[in-house]
Amino acid sequence: MQYVDREICRYYEDPIRAKPPASTHKRKGRGWSRRGCWCLLALMTGLSACSAKSDRDTLAARGMIDEHAPVKATVQIIIQAPPEKIWTLLTNIKDWATWQPDISEVAIQGAPAVAVPFVWSTGGMTIHSTIRLFDSDRSVGWTGRAFHVHAIHIWTLSPLPDGRVLVETRESMDGLLIDRFYSSRELQESDKKWLEHLKKAAES
C-alpha cells in the first residue's frame, strides 16, 4: 500500500510527467490507506492555495480586485491637491502612520516598487503585503495576508479638468468564513476613513 500512496502523491505533485495512479481494484481489493487519503487531501489543498495566490497576484498586477470575493468595496473621493502630492503620500509607505492614525507600524525594505514586500499593523493586526502594481502618479496596488484572510487593494488617481483629483480605492477580501465576522459595509467604512485621512493630509 505504501507504493500506491507514493504513486498517488507523485501524480498530484506533477500530473503531466507522472503516470496516473494505478487502480486499487487491481491490487487484490485493497482500498486507499488513511495515509494515502491524507496525502492526497494535503496536496490538493496546497495546489488550490497556490492557485488562489497566483490568481490574486495576477488580478492585482492588472489593477483588478476579486469581484467574486465575499467581502469587497469601492470608494471614491475628490481631493483638491496636485496628483504628485497625493501619489507621494500614498506610496511613501514607511510614513503612512504620520497621516493615517489607524496604522501603527510600517516596515518596508527599500523604495516602493513591484514585488517589494512590506509589513504593517492596523487595529492590532499585522498584515504582510507585497506591491503588485506601481504605475507612477496613476495606480498602485498590493496583495495582503493576515492569518487566513487575503486581500487585494487597488488605488487609482484620475486628474480632473478643474485641477482636482478623483481618488478611487477598490478592495476585495477572501478567507475562511470571513463574511461571518467582517462585511462589505465595514470594509467600505474603513476605506472611506482612509480616503478622508488622505484628503486631509493632501489638502493641508
**117 is written with which cell numbers?**
514586500
User: What is the pLDDT confidence band of residue 35, given thresholds at 50, 70 and 90?
Assistant: low
Average pLDDT over residues 138-156: 96
User: What is the pLDDT confidence band of residue 51, given thresholds at 50, 70 and 90?
Assistant: low
Which residues, other chains included, contact 6 with Cβ-Cβ below 8 Å and sequence gap of 6+? none
Looking at residue 124, its pLDDT comes to 87
**76 is written with which cell numbers?**
471614491
Is the per-residue pLDDT at 199 higher than 70? yes
Is the per-residue pLDDT at 11 higher than 60? no
Domains of the chain, residue spans? 2-50, 63-203
Is the per-residue pLDDT at 10 higher than 90? no
More confident residue, 90 or 24: 90
Could you tell me the strand order of the sheet in which 71-79 lies? 71-79, 165-175, 149-159, 139-146, 125-135, 117-122, 103-108
User: What is the pLDDT confidence band of residue 123, given thresholds at 50, 70 and 90?
Assistant: confident
> Which residue in the block uniquely carries the three cell numbers 478643474?
162
Pairing outcome for strands 117-122 and 125-135: antiparallel
CA distance 98 to 78: 21
Whole-number mean pLDDT of the chain? Answer: 82
Q: Write down the CATH number for the domain with range 63-203.
A: 3.30.530.20
Is the per-residue pLDDT at 44 higher than 60? no
Rg (CA), the chain: 22
Is the per-residue pLDDT at 117 higher than 90? yes
What one-character DSSP code corresponds to residue 191? H
